[in-house]
Amino acid sequence: MKRTIILASKSPRRLDILRSHGYEPVVLPVDADESLPEGIDMESAVRLLALKKARACFDIVSGKDEYSGCIIIGADTIVYKDEIMGKPEDRQDAFRMLDAIRGTCHYVSTGVAFIYVDSGKESVVNDVTAVYCRNYTDEDIEAYLDTDEPYDKAGAYAIQGIFGKHIDHIEGDYENVVGLPFHVIDKYLTLV
């Protein structure tokens, strides 16, 4: 039996991934503090941010009968290449990120936090994928930055979008790079 999911995210990509696996979640985006402690590593960062989002959602739905039996999913994705790269602040920041990852390997990590609404029990997982970029030009970056695609994405790109042509290959899970590693969360979504 499938649990009803509350997705604590406004990401259309996460929603699409859940739908592609047969789930129709309740979408309840939240505002959560996304500050990180100095020096935190990539995997700890995404796990912490995902948990902050799931807890913020839990605070909203806890004790409401219509959410009984549901499971909350909070998620966060970052790109790592010598530093944690979140969403770019502006065009210059996006250029800097795309310049840093060209012709090299970087890592994408997505943290996923689960909170069972009835019990408040929490679990957190994450996945890491190595992504290898082609050696694209400054002109390629500028052309990409002229689109709307890079500005709301970790690392300033979307593998599933037009930037995909600049990806040579990946080692790991494609859905993780898009924003939700379904293969590692499936067991949390079904009742045994």
Tell me how far apart the alpha carbons of residues 93 and 83 are, in angstroms, rounded to a whole number: 13
Q: Looking at residue 192, what DSSP letter applies?
A: -
Q: Is 58 exposed, middle or buried (0-12, 13-18, 19+ CB in 10 A)?
A: buried
Residue 77 corresponds to which amino acid? T
Q: Which residues contact 159 (CB under 8 A, 6 or more apart)?
A: 131, 167, 170, 174, 177, 178
DSSP 113-139: EEEETTT--EEEEEEEEEEEE----HH
Tell me how far apart the alpha carbons of residues 137 and 88 are, in angstroms, rounded to a whole number: 19
Q: What are phi and psi of 163, to 5 degrees?
A: -70, -15
Catalytic residue numbers, as ranges? 76
Tell me how far apart the alpha carbons of residues 28 and 22 are, in angstroms, rounded to a whole number: 18
Of residues 178, 183, 145, the one with CA closest to residue 164: 178
